[in-house]
Amino acid sequence: MAEYLREAFGDAEYVTRDLSEADIPLIIGYWAGASDSWLEGLNVSRQRLGSEADMRARFSNMIRGVGDADRVAFVTECNGDVMSYSNIHIVDNGAAAYLHGHVIRKDMRGKGVGSVRFSSMLRMIIDEFGVKTVIAEPLASNVAVNRLHQSYGLTPDRKWLDTPDGLAEPGWYNLYYFTRDVLDSADVRATRARGLQKIEAGSA
Ligand SMILES: CC(C)(COP(=O)(O)OP(=O)(O)OC[C@H]1O[C@@H](n2cnc3c(N)ncnc32)[C@H](O)[C@@H]1OP(=O)(O)O)[C@@H](O)C(=O)NCCC(=O)NCCS
């Protein structure tokens, strides 16, 4: 099981590594235990999520080296406990990858961690999988994730999608395209710095 990123900030250490079978029950719990309003906010239906067995099969297929090479999932641990997961879907003959991510631990959302780590994740995906572009396709109404992406100075391509990547239902989505150039921008550094400040203030 490969480890990709190890960063320490605030009073915690964050490690991003491959998904393993042992992580899957936690991810199933995140989806199976989600309220109707949470699922609505993500435009995901229980029908598309399927049964727990369907979810297990879907995530098992994203374990690197086990399932399809173009669908890979990672988890991030905070001080040894899984706090979030992400998955990529490589498309366009390896030139691009869709990225999906969820902070599973409610108590860790909105504290600045995404602002610090999202750019590290993007860089890791570009370096590790050789893609030129990482595409994020959040629902246009998802405030937190759109704020994070727009903090990079990007203007989203707002589109109605009948078949968004992943499991979501048709709807209005904001498409963002992250390249090395975007990651090297002053806006990305500023977002990271703002996230670090938020974390330091929270752990002080
Ligand atoms: C979206 C997500 C990855 C962001 O990570 P995070 O660690 O919570 O992000 P941060 O704390 O760094 O906040 C990023 C921005 O979102 C804003 N934000 C965070 N939570 C928010 C909330 N509940 N409502 C409104 N804005 C919010 C922050 O204020 C910040 O914007 P700012 O710098 O302009 O103030 C995380 O909240 C999450 O997993 N949410 C649930 C699942 C989800 O929506 N995934 C995306 C699916 S495409």
User: Do the beta carbons of residue 112 and residue 195 sit within 8 Å?
Assistant: yes
Question: Does ligand 1 come within 6 angstroms of the Cβ of 114?
Answer: yes
State the distance from the centre of ligand 1 to the C-alpha of 142, rounded, in angstroms.
9
pTM as predicted: 0.96
Nearest CA to ligand 1 atom 48: 138
Residue-wise pLDDT for 146-181, tens only, equals: 999 999 999 999 999 999 999 999 999 999 999 999
DSSP secondary structure, the chain, as one string: --EEEEEEETTEEEEEEE--GGGHHHHHHHHHT--HHHHHHHT--HHHH--HHHHHHHHHTTSTTTS-TTEEEEEEEETTEEEEEEEEEEEGGGTEEEEEEEE--GGGTTSSHHHHHHHHHHHHHHHHH--SEEEE--BTT-HHHHHHHHTTTPPPEEEEESS-STTPPSEEEEEEEE-HHHHTSHHHHHHHHHHHHHHHHHH-
pLDDT tens-digit map of 79-121: 999 999 999 999 999 999 999 999 999 999 999 999 999 999 9
Cα of 145 to ligand 1 centre, how many Å? 5
- CA distance between the termini of the chain: 34
Residue 18 CA to ligand 1 center (angstroms) comes to 23
Residue from 37, 103, 188 to probe ligand 1 pocket by mutation (most atoms less than 8 Å from CB) = 103
Residue 193 Cβ contacting ligand 1 at under 6 Å:
no
Q: What pLDDT, in 10s, does the model give residues 9-46?
A: 999 999 999 999 999 999 999 999 999 999 999 999 99
CATH pick for 3-203 out of 3.30.1540.20, 3.30.530.20, 3.40.630.30, 3.40.50.1970: 3.40.630.30
Domain locations along the chain: 3-203
